[in-house]
Amino acid sequence: MAKKDKKEKGKSGDGEDKKLKGKSGIVNEKIKKESKEAKGKTVEDKVKETEEQEKKRKEEEEMVKKLQEEIDRLTTKDIVVQMMMSLSSLAYKKMGIPVGVNDKYKDRQQAKLAVDCFDALLKIISDEVSAEEKENLKSSLSNLQMNFVKVFT
| Each residue's pLDDT tens digit, 27-77 | 667 676 666 555 556 777 778 888 999 999 999 999 999 999 999 999 999
Report field, pTM of the whole predicted structure over 0.85: no
- Rounded to an integer, what distance in angstroms lies between the CA atom of residue 123 and that of residue 145? 15
Angle of helix 76-94 relative to helix 108-125, nearest 10 degrees, comes to 160
DSSP 8-state symbol, 100 = T
- Rounded to an integer, what distance in angstroms lies between the CA atom of residue 122 and that of residue 89? 15
